[in-house]
């Protein structure tokens, strides 16, 4: 899954590829919002963790990775 995370006061969004399902990501976000620490933790395909304070989240977009087209062809 491709996960795009908008962070307040940041000019660019965070983008990561995750092996987690959309349901798992949604559950992680909901759990982070309910927790006392308020810290969202997601892991990318290479095992790296991204930690974001929930108070700074602007949005989260979860989508299938887009296949890139190569070459010339009729559109």
pLDDT in tens, 30-64: 999 999 888 999 999 999 999 999 999 999 999 87
Identify the residue with better confidence: 1 or 53.
Answer: 53
Question: What's the rounded mean pLDDT across residues 9-15?
Answer: 92
- Rounded to 5 degrees, what are φ and ψ at 21? -80, 165
pTM assigned to the model: 0.76
Residues above pLDDT 70, as percent of the chain: 87
Distance between alpha carbon 14 and the CA centroid of its chain, in Å? 7
């Amino acid at each position: 899954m491709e996960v795009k995370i908008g962070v307040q006061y940041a000019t660019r969004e965070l983008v990561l590829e995750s092996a987690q399902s959309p349901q798992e990501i949604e559950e992680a976000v909901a759990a982070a919002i309910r927790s006392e620490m308020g810290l969202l933790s997601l892991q990318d395909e290479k095992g790296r963790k991204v930690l974001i304070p929930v108070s700074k989240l602007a949005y989260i977009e979860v989508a299938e990775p887009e296949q890139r087209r190569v070459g010339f062809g009729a559109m």
